[in-house]
Structure 1
Amino acid sequence: METLREFFSFSDPSIIAVTVGAVLLSASSAVVGTFTFLKKKALVGDAVAHSVLPGICLAFILTGTKNPLWLIIGAFITGWISLVIIDNVTLKTKIKEDTAIALILSVFFGIGILLLTNIQHSGNAAQTGLDSFLFGKAAALVGKDLIVFGMVAVILLATVALFFKELKLIAFDPNYAKALGVPVKAMDLLLTSLTVLAVVTGIQAVGVVLMAAMLITPAAAARFWTNDVRVMTFLAAIMSGFSGLSGAFVSYAAPAMPTGPWIVMIISAIALTSFFIAPTRGIISRSIQQRKLQRMIMDENLLKELYHLGEKDEDPYKARSLDEIIEERFFPKDRLKSALRRLKREGYLAKQNGDWKYTEAGKLKGQRVVKLHRLWELYLSKYMKIDPDHVHEDAETIEHIITPELEKRLEKMLEYPEMDPHEERIPY
Structure 2
Amino acid sequence: MDFIEYIKLISSDYTLRTITLGTAVLGGVTGMLGSFAVLRKQSLLGDAISHAALPGIAIAFLITGSKDTNVLLIGALISGLIGTFWIRGITSKTHLKSDTALGLILSVFFGFGMLLLTFIQKMPNANQAGLDKYLFGQAATLVESDVWLMTIVTGLCLFVLLLFWKEFKILLFDKDYALTLGFNTKFIDILITSFIVLAIVLGLQTVGVVLMSAMLLAPAAAARQWTNSLGLMVFIAAIFGASAGVFGTAISATQNNLSTGPVIVLVASVFVFFSFIFSPSRGLLFKQIRLIKNRNALELQKTLAFMYHIVEDHDDISHPHAIKILNNFQGFSRKGLRELEDKNYVKVAGDMWSLTSTGVAAATNLYNQNQKDD
TM-score normalised by the chain length of structure 1 = 0.79
Supply the distance in 1 between the matched residues of 2:23 and 2:166 (Cα, whole angstroms).
28
Contact 1:156/1:198, CA 8 A, preserved across alignment: no
For the 8 Å contact 1:224–1:282, the answer to whether it is kept is yes
Distance 2:7 2:199 in 1: 31
> Which residue number in structure 2 is paired with residue 299 of structure 1?
300
- Pairing partner for 1:357 from 342, 355, 358: 355
Give the structure 1 partner of residue 28 of structure 2.
27
Shift of 1:15: 1.9
Larger mean Cα displacement after TM superposition, 58-67 or 281-290? 58-67
Greater Cα shift, 140-149 or 101-110: 140-149
What SS does structure 1 have at the residue aligned with 2:210? Answer: helix
CA distance in 2 between counterparts of 1:24 and 1:271 reads 19
- Render the CA deviation track for 1:151-181: whole Å, top value 9, x for unaligned: 2232223322332332222222223333444
Counterpart for residue 290 of structure 1 = 291
Question: Cα deviation per residue 1:258-293 (whole Å; 9 max; x = unaligned)?
Answer: 111111111111221222222232111111111111
Q: Per-residue deviation at 1:48?
A: 1.1
Residue ranges of structure 1 left out of the alignment (5+ in a row): 378-428
The reply on whether 1:132 has 2:129 as its aligned counterpart is: no
Q: CA deviation at 1:223?
A: 1.6
1:347 matched to which residue of 2? 344
Of all paired residues, the percent bearing the same amino acid is: 38
1:371 to 359, 363, 368: 368
Hey, what's the Cα distance between the residues in 2 that align with 1:42 and 1:322? 61
| Whole-angstrom CA distance in 2 between matches of 1:302 and 1:177 | 52
Q: Secondary structure at the match of 2:124?
A: coil
Whether the 8 Å contact between 1:318 and 1:357 is mirrored in structure 2 is no
**Superposition deviation, residue 212 in structure 1:** 0.8
8 Å CA contact 2:275–2:283 kept in 1: the answer is yes
Could you tell me which residue of structure 2 aligns to residue 119 of structure 1?
120
Greater shift, 201-210 or 267-276, is seen at 267-276
With 318-327 and 343-352 compared, the bigger mean Cα shift is at: 318-327
Equivalent-residue separation in structure 2 for 1:350 and 1:174 (angstroms): 61
* CA distance, structure 1, for counterparts of residue 221 and residue 164 of structure 2: 21
**Conservation of the 8 A alpha-carbon contact between 1:166 and 1:187:** yes
- Ranges in structure 2 where 5+ consecutive residues have no aligned partner: none
Deviations 1:310-331 (A, max 9, x none): 233456787844644766xx62
**1:108 and 1:263 mapped to 2: Cα distance?**
25
Secondary structure (helix, strand or coil) at the match of 1:207 reads coil
1:7 alignment counterpart: 9
Counterpart contact for 1:152–1:201, Cα < 8 Å:
no
* Counterpart position of 2:71: 70
**Alpha-carbon distance change, 205 to 308 in structure 1, aligned in 2, over 3 angstroms:** same
The separation in 2 between residues aligned to 1:244 and 1:358, in whole angstroms, is: 62
- What secondary structure is seen at the aligned counterpart in 1 of 2:354? strand
Question: CA 1:62/1:317 → structure 2, altered by over 3 Å: closer, same or farther?
Answer: farther
- Checking the alignment, whether the CA contact within 8 Å between 2:6 and 2:253 is kept in structure 1 is no
1:166-177 aligned within 5 A: 166-177=167-178
Identify if the C-alpha distance between structure 1 residues 84 and 341 changes in structure 2 by more than 3 Å, giving closer, same or farther.
same
Superposition deviation, residue 232 in structure 1: 1.6
> Over residues 79-119 of structure 1, what are the superposed CA-to-partner deviations in whole Å (9 max), with x where a residue is unaligned?
22222322333344333332222221111100111111122
What displacement does 1:300 show? Answer: 1.2
Amino acid at match of 1:175: D
- Contact between 2:10 and 2:17, CA under 8 Å: does it hold in 1? no
Structure with more relative contact order (C-alpha pairs < 8 Å, separation 6 or more): 2
- Output the CA distance in 1 between the equivalents of 2:277 and 2:324: 38
Amino acid at match of 2:77: F
Q: Is the counterpart of residue 41 in structure 1 residue 42 in structure 2?
A: yes
Tell me: CA distance 1:75–1:313, structure 2 relative to 1, closer, same or farther (3 Å): same
In structure 2, C-alpha distance between the alignment counterparts of 1:51 and 1:247, rounded to whole Å: 26
Give deviations 1:290-314, integer Å, cap 9, x for gaps.
Answer: 1111111111121122112223345
Q: Residue 276 of structure 1 aligns to a residue in which SS?
A: helix
CA distance in 2, matches of 1:318, 1:48: 77
Confirm whether residue 213 of structure 1 aligns to residue 214 of structure 2: yes
> For the structure 1 residues 317 and 132, does the alpha-carbon distance in structure 2 shift closer, same or farther, using more than 3 Å as the test?
farther
**Could you tell me how far 1:228 is from its partner in structure 2?**
2.1
Which segment is superposed worse, 214-223 or 366-375?
A: 366-375
| 1:415 paired residue number | none
Amino acid across the alignment from 2:225: F
Q: CA deviation at 1:352?
A: 6.1
